[in-house]
Amino acid sequence: MSVNGSSAVRRTINLTMEASFENSNIVNIDNEISINKKVKIFIGLKNTLNKYTEYDIIWFPLGVYILSSAGVSRNTNGWNISISGKDKMC
């Protein structure tokens, strides 16, 4: 995730993940990862507080992103999906 206060699009993301063969088709709208989806990004911090002891990790939202580009590649370990997204507010 990158944040740029002087840009028209303030927040962007770039993600790379491994996928199974069945989930590697990014143009299939029935897949969980496809070009027509939105992504919610959260950051989790380990809870070291004496309060809220029921939570091991406290999650904070970082926004909703629309996927602007995606690509699929194959390597020796399987399929990789790379996606780029822009903050939904753009």
- Domain range list for the chain: 2-87
What's the pLDDT score for residue 24?
63
Contact, 33 vs 26, CB < 8 A?
Answer: yes
Walk along the chain (90 residues) in steps of 10 and give the mean pLDDT of each run: 78 83 67 72 91 89 85 80 81
What's the pLDDT score for residue 22?
66
Dihedral angle, C-alpha 81, 42, 45, 1, nearest 10 °: 60
Burial class (CB in 10 A: 0-12, 13-18, 19+), 26: buried
Contact, 66 vs 86, CB < 8 A?
Answer: yes
